[in-house]
Chains A and B, each alone.
Chain A
């Protein structure tokens, strides 16, 4: 399998997603199928291949340096799950800095 259970766990960590131990084998299998499927793209020559394509404008249009905030109908206190004394509150980082 191109995507092992360890791979799934590592990726899940990067993506900050809890993955059920039970779901792990099936997930690894599904991801492997998907990755194998998209691996067809190796038909494209590497380096020296065509440029990439992204639709949209060719260049950034500069915004003037005006203080003109996009409107907010209500402040963070209205939609934040935990808000105290004007701050968002999250549990401490624990063992991490």
Chain B
């Protein structure tokens, strides 16, 4: 029996605004509890919501980047339920007239090439506060700083076929949203949250079976694990004669298990109705056009352009466009004159490695890196010497050539000078010369090594080899 897994992801993404969705409180992370609050986000009697235009703009950008249809008129709705960190007893969200529908997220599945996953809808809503269950004995602590922070909910269709695909989809979505700058997409900080809908069916079936919702996936690394565990649970259940019931499963990362959310009165009747405190959300064509113009070149387009314009492999282009900062850095290096392939190699190795150790800072300027690349290309620096120069420039700045000179690593490419060393070396190793001339051509590397020693590493090894070959041929 081969089973097929069907997964759809719902992601909640916090938008990068200074103030909350419906009030002027700050959204800054990490403030002492209940200090970034006001009558509105506290749900005090008489308070009213007022919509943040920047949040709406960012939401529209997200929708456009996902190729969605952005609806010029959408309606906010109340989702009614009781929970301690939901101050009004309802969440302002969108229901049957959302901001956007019908988009696509193309990603590379580890199993079947490019997948065009559907984005069913994208809508705007406000976040709830935070409930902390382990601070006080027998009580829950509630912090409403997060209450009212702007969110977009992105609902993906049941298009994913494995936990690994779910991971790839999420990675691609995260990259896209970071690229367009609408969110930090940090799962640790909670600015990106994911819930998954999971069901199984026999291979070849087209209908969808009962699905469960998996929640509490709090880190990227848990995505594949949680979904694998749930899939396996469903398969085991069905194979033993049982059937999957629709329920919410919570992932436990410590045990790597899922368990049903125990809510006896789990009534999902949210009694949605249009939010009477907010008029319709009407977007002018100018507003939408403005959001479109604020979109940078998207990752897929950038990657394809790099492949075409810079003759990079798709793999290299993918690494170099993995985030916008790196992509723009790379192009800066190329525009400063570096040969594209060499530039890509340098960025992928030295620059990214250095950044990793220095809070993602690309410490060597594009100009400087381009100069280093040119120095290597022109034979002035060996690769090894160039790495030393890179490290110096990264730490202290400065002009690469000047630094190379002060380090004394400028390669000598003067044929006469090199010829002098060659003569000395050949003179000092007559027997090896004899053996070489008798056919032991592998001694060439020995001679090159000796020339490098004699020159204290400064000789251009390629030039040295040429001169050696000339002299030994005669």
Contacts and interface: CB of A to CB of B under 8 A. Distances in A.
Interface residues of B, number: 54
B474 to A, nearest CB: 78
B3 interface: no
B139 A96 contact: no
Nearest to B261: A97
A19 to B, nearest CB: 15
Given A62-B52, A87-B132, A88-B144, A69 B82 contact: no
Contact of A14 (B36, B53, B84, B267): B267
Given A14-B271, A57-B279, A66 B139 contact: no
A97 B139 contact: no
A66 B56 contact: no
A25 B174 CA distance: 55
A92 B42 contact: no
Interface string B257-300: 00001111101010100101011111000000000000000000
B279 A70 contact: no
A40 B421 CA distance: 108
Given A59-B281, A65-B19, A96-B262, A70 B24 contact: yes
A72 B33 contact: no
B305 interface: no
B191 interface: no
Interface in B4-35: 17-19, 23-26, 32-35
Given A65-B19, A66-B24, A86 B32 contact: yes
Contacts of B138: 91-92
B262 A87 contact: no
B342 interface: no
Contacts, number: 130
A66 to B, nearest CB: 6
Contacts of A88: 34, 84, 141-144
A62 B139 contact: no
Nearest to A95: B262
A86 B38 contact: no
Contacts of A87: 33-34, 132, 135-136, 141-143
A89 interface: yes
Choose among A60, A75, A89, A95 the residue with the greatest number of B CB atoms under 10 Å from its CB. A60
Given A13-B265, A69-B24, A92-B133, A60 B278 contact: yes
B142 A63 contact: no
A41 interface: no
Interface residues of A, number: 37
B59 interface: no
Nearest to A13: B265
A6 to B, nearest CB: 14
Interface string A70-95: 11100110000000111111111101
Nearest to A65: B54
B51 interface: yes
B33 A86 contact: yes
Contacts of A54: 274, 276, 279
A76 B261 contact: no
A53 B138 CA distance: 47
B250 interface: yes
A67 B31 CA distance: 14
A56 interface: yes
A52 B26 CA distance: 36
Contacts of B271: 14
A64 interface: yes
27 contacts: A14-B267, A14-B271, A58-B280, A60-B51, A62-B51, A62-B53, A62-B56, A63-B50, A66-B24, A67-B19, A67-B25, A69-B25, A69-B36, A69-B37, A70-B39, A72-B38, A76-B144, A87-B33, A87-B136, A87-B142, A88-B34, A88-B144, A89-B142, A90-B84, A93-B133, A95-B262, A97-B261
